[in-house]
Structure 1
Amino acid sequence: MSRKLLLTVLLCLLSLSAQAAAPANGADALLRQVQEAAGQNAKLNQEREQRFLADKNQQAALLQRAEAELAAARARSDAARARFAANQKAIAELKTQLQARAGDYAQVQSAVKESAGAFRALASESFVSAQYPQRLEAINQLADQSGYPGAAQLESYWVVLQQELVEGGAVRRFQAPVVGSDGQRAPAEVLRVGSFAAFSEGRYLIFDPPSAALQVVARQPGWHWRSLARDFAVQPEGLAPILIDPTHGSLLAQEALRPDLIERIHQGGLIAYVIIVVGIFGVIAALWQLAFLLRVGRAVRAQLRDLAQPRRDNPLGRVLSAFQGDPARGIEDAEVLELRLSEAILREIPALERFQPLLRLIVAAGPLLGLVGTVTGMIITFQVIQEQGAGDPRLMAGGISQAMITTVLGLGVAVPMLFVNALLSARSRVLVQILDEQSAGLLARHLETQRRHESA
């Protein structure tokens, strides 16, 4: 109603304004225009009401449809909540069943992981891993795995354990890269003895776990052990002795830190060199004199078998040649003969006892020189303690090594020289005794012959 009233007022105002402006004879036209406008407005209003009613019905239908969709959505939500609750309940029940069923399997997983960790430490140092390096990846994966291992992993782990057991008691040959003493890696034929030792071209090898490669020991064991490795490599079958390291290379690595004989002599310093030079002179003199006494002994024994023909190539022959007396001459000739024989024996004694005073001097000087080295080494040790302290024993090793090595060298020179000097003295006394016996016998025979001539 308000809208119609407003339109009527507007039409009146328009008619009044038109009447005021228009002449009197146009009133009918104006009326018709007003009536037409009023009809049009009524028609417009009717159309608007119809559209409004249509929109209202449409909105009601939309509202009804929205309410229906809301009800359906609520129904679906309730059904989803019910299914979610049911699923949560089912999941909880399944988890309970899983925990109940996985209790033993969790213990198996823990045992397998612990076993794999312990076996990894063993396999990383085993020489078998040098031949089969790919097995370390499977062991590391099983030892570091946080979840449950699968059946395939457990089976592969069992195969690795069986492989270690079988290969630990077998001797194998295989090709593998070997790091030489110069740091260069080159393929070589490797001979493996169980999981304890490996050799290549008669050289002992160690296994380096970080690089998973075989390395030549920096300092090989003694010649005897290297010859065993070479003989073992060419042994066709059967039992053969060989040096093995049950610590998988630790003992061989420690062997590389031990100095050899030349290095130990260098540790002895100047005193060690002096002792060695003195010992060398003593050995040369002893060997020279021993060879001389052996040669003289053979010549004297040959002369004993033929005393009637004295020779000048041996002491006994020269002593017998000194006999120039005549049995027909008097007692004075016998006295002269005795003096000649004594002179000849005294002339031979210096050559038979040669170098013995020098050897006795070396026997006495060896321990004294060793004592000098001992004192010098202890002085060096105390000086190191004063400068560096006694916290690290390796700092004192140099002085102690010098002290001990010089002592050993001094005794090592003196003791053999003592026995050698005793041997030379004994052999020279035997030869001198032979000369004394033969000269006394020669003199006795001469006196007997002289007495027979006098009595005749």
Structure 2
Amino acid sequence: MTIKPLILAISLLCFSTYSVSASSELVQETKQASQDQKQHNAQRESGFKQTEQSLKAQKNALIAERKQLQKESDELSAIFSKNEKALATLEQQLHLETGSLGELFGVVRQTAKDLDSELKSSVSGAVNVEHRQLISDIVAAKSLPSMAQLTGLWQTMAQQVNASSELESTTITMINGSGHRQSINAYRLGNMALVGDDGFLQWDNKKQVATYYAQQPELMPTFAILSEMQGQQTIMMASDPSRGIMLEQLANTPTMKERLQAGGVVGKIIIGLLLIGLIISLFNGVRLFVIRQQIRKQLKQPQELGKNPLGRVLAVYDAEKQRSVEALELRLLETIVDEQQGLEKGLSMLKLLAALAPMLGLLGTVTGMIETFQVITQFGNGDPKVMAGGISMALVTTVLGLVAAMPLLLTHNILSSQAESIRTILEKQGLGLVAEQAEKIAQPNAMNMAA
């Protein structure tokens, strides 16, 4: 019983001793950590102070720089204001000194532009023109022209005026049909045209070469003709006052063949009908003319019965002279009707063709418009060239229909008049025969009644 309390007391004493020792070590560690934290804080405070001093120094430097820049800005503003006032004064002085030179510069520049355009488009560019670069400088200038530029301007204008009245022989470069360049002799007609061996030449000022126009006008001048007329005081010749525009349009003018081709199938049918109608008209015209000549001859010699309508009518009377007046009249009427059918043979076809031609023209018009609307549906109406084919077909077929109908109607009317004239002669002769027969029958009856 005594040993256990003793052991317990010893254990408690040992634990107390250990606790005191551990507590003293913890205190020491805490003190050490506190000292370290103080040293660290002291170092951080020292760094913050140094940073604060550096920032203050930078702030002071920036403030000083700002003051310096503000001072310089004020000085520059003052200089700018001073210069602006001086510039305004100089501009006013310049305006007073130049006076109307500003308007003169505008006139000179516009004149230089017109002259520059003239030099670029006129055939006088085929001849060396001085001061060409000077004119370009005046056009591009932003300041008043100098005296040298003004002198060059009026000298160039004088050259152009003189060149417009000259017929001058010169040597130019031409592109031939095979695409090769060659030098040829040509005449310059003022500033309007160039004339070579084969007619008018188209001049390209940029490339300094000439080419013949695709189509030359009638009675065109040539180099040989102008050489022969060189010594004459007055020379009459065809020329293009538009300086080539009309000659270029001449190449775009379609020929008769191209116009007929634009009519398409309908146009060809109309032309075919016209040719058939003209052949029928020519044949009937010749036939009726021959018949009229035969009838005239028959009228002069009624006893000699010929192979013509009047001869056949007279033959009916001579065939049986003892028939009654009514029978003779009916026989003559039958013969005249037969002859009338022969005289009017082919005229009904002419009338049909004359009526059919404008209807075909209307058909071509409708067909061409349908084609035009189809093209518009596919490609739109932005480019008129894509619609030109259908419109051309519509117009050409209309014209062809009218052109075909008018001569056919005219020939039908002429031939009908001739046939009607011949029929009238036959009827008059038939009536005369009937009257003669009636007189022969009435004469014996009168004598019998008198007896």
TM-score when normalising by structure 2: 0.65
After TM superposition, give the deviation of residue 119 of structure 1 in Å. Answer: 0.6
Distance 2:314 2:167 in 1: 74
User: Which residue of 1 is the match for residue 164 of structure 2?
Assistant: 168
Question: Taking every aligned residue pair, what percent have the same amino acid on both sides?
Answer: 30
User: Which residue of 2 is the match for residue 288 of structure 1?
Assistant: 283
Aligned pair in 2 of structure 1 residues 237, 309: CA closer, same or farther (>3 Å)?
farther
Q: Deviations over 1:124-179 (max 9, x none)?
A: 2223333x2x11x632343226696675x765654432232233245555554444
1:226 corresponds, among 218, 221, 244, to 218
After TM superposition, give the deviation of residue 356 of structure 1 in Å. Answer: 1.3
8 Å CA contact retained: 2:134, 2:152: no
User: Which residue of 1 is the match for residue 78 of structure 2?
Assistant: none
User: Which residue of 2 is the match for residue 119 of structure 1?
Assistant: 115
The DSSP-based 3-state class of the residue aligned with 2:381 is coil
User: Which residue of 2 is the match for residue 409 of structure 1?
Assistant: 400
8 Å CA contact retained: 1:203, 1:226: no
TM-score when normalising by structure 1: 0.64
Distance 1:309 1:189 in 2: 78
Distance 1:200 1:453 in 2: 96
Is structure 2 residue 371 aligned with structure 1 residue 391? Answer: no
After TM superposition, give the deviation of residue 382 of structure 1 in Å. Answer: 2.0
The DSSP-based 3-state class of the residue aligned with 2:121 is coil
8 Å CA contact retained: 2:357, 2:401: yes
Distance 1:214 1:453 in 2: 101
The DSSP-based 3-state class of the residue aligned with 2:375 is helix
The DSSP-based 3-state class of the residue aligned with 2:210 is strand
Is structure 2 residue 201 aligned with structure 1 residue 209? Answer: no
8 Å CA contact retained: 2:123, 2:192: yes
8 Å CA contact retained: 2:199, 2:220: no
> How many residues are matched?
344
Is structure 2 residue 364 aligned with structure 1 residue 370? Answer: no
Alignment RMSD: 3.7
After TM superposition, give the deviation of residue 180 of structure 1 in Å. Answer: 4.8
1:259 corresponds, among 254, 264, 275, to 254
User: Which residue of 2 is the match for residue 142 of structure 1?
Assistant: 135
User: Which residue of 1 is the match for residue 413 of structure 2?
Assistant: 422
The DSSP-based 3-state class of the residue aligned with 2:206 is coil
Consecutive unaligned residues of structure 1, counting only runs of 5 or more, are 1-98
User: Which residue of 2 is the match for residue 63 of structure 1?
Assistant: none
User: Which residue of 2 is the match for residue 304 of structure 1?
Assistant: 299
User: Which residue of 2 is the match for residue 88 of structure 1?
Assistant: none
The DSSP-based 3-state class of the residue aligned with 2:318 is coil
1:254 is aligned with what amino acid? Q
After TM superposition, give the deviation of residue 453 of structure 1 in Å. Answer: 5.0
Distance 1:143 1:105 in 2: 23
1:268 corresponds, among 255, 260, 263, to 263
8 Å CA contact retained: 1:245, 1:252: no
Distance 2:274 2:180 in 1: 43
User: Which residue of 2 is the match for residue 277 of structure 1?
Assistant: 272
Is structure 2 residue 338 aligned with structure 1 residue 347? Answer: yes
8 Å CA contact retained: 1:232, 1:242: no
8 Å CA contact retained: 1:268, 1:402: yes
User: Which residue of 1 is the match for residue 191 of structure 2?
Assistant: 195
Distance 2:313 2:256 in 1: 49
Aligned pair in 2 of structure 1 residues 354, 142: CA closer, same or farther (>3 Å)?
same
Q: Deviations over 1:293-317 (max 9, x none)?
A: 23333333333333343332x4323
Distance 1:295 1:241 in 2: 50
1:276 is aligned with what amino acid? I
Consecutive unaligned residues of structure 2, counting only runs of 5 or more, are 1-93
User: Which residue of 1 is the match for residue 438 of structure 2?
Assistant: 447
8 Å CA contact retained: 1:232, 1:241: no
